[in-house]
Amino acid sequence: MQRGGGGGGGDRRGNQGQQSQGQHGQGGGGGNFRQNEFQMNMSAHDAAPREPKKFTGRCRLFVGNVTSETSDEEFKNLFSKFGETGEMFLNGSKGFGFIRLDYRHNAEAAKAALDGSQHKGRTLRVRFSNQGSAIKIKNLSPFVSNELLEMAMQQFGDVERAVVVVDDRGRSTGEGIVEFARKPGAQQALKRINDGVFLMTSSQRPISAENLEAKDEDDGLSEKFLPRNQQYQAEREKEPRFAPPGSFEYRFGLKYREIDELEKQQIERVKQEMDQQRMKLEHEMEGAMFDFQAEQIRADLLRQQEELRRLEEMKTEKMRRRQEYDFRMDDEQRLNMMDDDRQHMMRGGRPGMDQNRFDSNPGNFGGNPSNFGNHPGGNMPNQGGMFGNNRNMGGMGNRNDRRRDMGGMGGPRDDYGEMKRMRRF
């Protein structure tokens, strides 16, 4: 058996409906950003040129009533004159095969030409085959377009075709058809959509999915394909007619019609009840949405208050540390000054005075005009004398007094050690 290479692709699709308004924005700026990005992607998707895809599932044909003598080459030659052929499968023993053409219109032409034709004494049966890879989507918003539906379904697998079904006025019927390139994509879409809550737009009503039942609404059933069996003969004994009033056929025909009318009434009643339930749910949803938004606002306000309190605490802590730092710097400065004074005292100076100031005192040997050599008298026994109470010896006397008061340096040394310990603390 031969198998050609299959590819992606589908027919060119036109724009249906309006662009979706995106998901419901409750995330502030982040939600607006995502919505704007989504709108940009949709605009780019809509503006991009759309080339028709080749070898899609819509171009796959089923061929029945094939003879066992038909070879793969003969089977392929039957369709090659209508266009490029791709994937091919032939089971001659069971009398059927599959083949994929490049475009839908070529497959339609092949179907129209070969369906019902004779090949080696048999009437060929040709119809389209979707491989079970197509699904139907329900509960679509009126603002869901073909492009939005295709974009939403891409997460489940490669999509060959996605269309929103419209009425004769071009308005959405709320249903869509999605054809995947492979059957696993359709199966995954069915499971995830029906098990979860998949929302297409801001509407809170989730979509639903079901297998698409393949139907041939174009060619229908031809007379030549009906089996000529006994049941056929019994059904076709009478021609189409109106039953005469009062006859057996007429009475039972009315009973069948009553059952049909009862079914319509029950379906209509159930539909009305379901519509009322949906309307009630929408009203409840609006109230719940307001409560949810109010709760979100309160939660945001609490977060902002908590953030403000945290910032205030940080500010207070920073000010406290600054004050402690200033206090330590002031204590350090005072300790340095006291240390300098202690060192001067240990060297024999005055607290707060340096040695130069002490040496320039008028009462010492260098600055007093009444010292040796500078006195007008020029001799030792000058005014005040050297060894008396003259102020010339005042500096030395005071210095000796301070030394005696220090008591052998014991007391000041103890205070100095205490101050060093305070500085370390």
- For the stretch 299-340, pLDDT in tens is 999 999 999 999 999 999 999 999 999 999 998 898 888 888
Q: Between 420 and 227, where is the model more confident?
A: 227
Instruction: Tell me which residue of 390, 350, 340, 352 sits closest to 368, measured CA to CA.
Output: 390
Average pLDDT over residues 398-405: 45
Average pLDDT over residues 227-234: 88
The set of residues, in sequence order, having a beta carbon less than 8 Å from that of 71 and lying 6+ positions away, is: none
Query: CB 177: neighbour CB atoms within 10 A?
Result: 15
Q: How confident is the model over 242-289, as pLDDT tens digits?
A: 999 999 989 999 999 999 999 999 999 999 999 999 889 888 888 888
User: What's the CA gap between 355 and 346, in Å, rounded?
Assistant: 12
The set of residues, in sequence order, having a beta carbon less than 8 Å from that of 183 and lying 6+ positions away, is: 131, 132, 133
User: What's the CA gap between 72 and 78, in Å, rounded?
Assistant: 10
Q: E strand or H helix at 329, and its extent? A: helix 248-346
* Cβ-contact 117, 123 below 8 angstroms: yes
Backbone angles phi, psi at 335, to 5 degrees: -65, -40
User: The whole model's pTM is what?
Assistant: 0.54
* Cβ-contact 125, 145 below 8 angstroms: no
Sign of CA dihedral 178, 181, 187, 189: negative
Q: How confident is the model over 337-375, as pLDDT tens digits?
A: 888 888 888 887 555 444 444 444 444 444 444 444 444
Confidence of residue 413 (pLDDT cuts 50, 70, 90): very low
Residue with tokens 């949906």: 278
Percentage of the chain lying above the pLDDT 90 cut: 42
* Strands (DSSP E) found in 32-185: 60-64, 85-91, 96-101, 118-119, 122-123, 125-128, 134-138, 159-166, 172-180
The set of residues, in sequence order, having a beta carbon less than 8 Å from that of 219 and lying 6+ positions away, is: 111, 115, 127
- Pull the structure tokens for residue 90: 């032939």
Query: CB 289: neighbour CB atoms within 10 A?
Result: 13
User: What's the CA gap between 74 and 120, in Å, rounded?
Assistant: 11
User: What's the CA gap between 397 and 300, in Å, rounded?
Assistant: 82
What is the per-residue pLDDT for 402? Answer: 45
Q: Is the pLDDT assigned to residue 31 strictly greater than 80? A: no
* Number of residues in the chain: 425
Q: Is the pLDDT assigned to residue 15 strictly greater than 60? A: no
User: What's the CA gap between 402 and 398, in Å, rounded?
Assistant: 6
- Pull the structure tokens for residue 214: 């393949």
User: What's the CA gap between 425 and 420, in Å, rounded?
Assistant: 9
Instruction: Tell me which residue of 205, 62, 208 sits closest to 129, measured CA to CA.
Output: 62
Sign of CA dihedral 283, 284, 287, 293: negative
Q: Is the pLDDT assigned to residue 168 strictly greater than 80? A: yes
What is the per-residue pLDDT for 38? Answer: 58
Q: What is the DSSP letter of 207?
A: P
User: CA torsion 221→222→224→225, rounded to 10°?
Assistant: -20
Q: Is 134 helix (H, G, I), strand (E, B) or coil?
A: strand
What is the per-residue pLDDT for 396? Answer: 44
User: What's the CA gap between 242 and 168, in Å, rounded?
Assistant: 32
Point out which residues pair with 119 in neighbouring strands: 122
Residue with tokens 């009126």: 142
What is the per-residue pLDDT for 259? Answer: 94
Q: Is 70 helix (H, G, I), strand (E, B) or coil?
A: coil
User: What's the CA gap between 81 and 12, in Å, rounded?
Assistant: 23
User: What's the CA gap between 362 and 379, in Å, rounded?
Assistant: 19
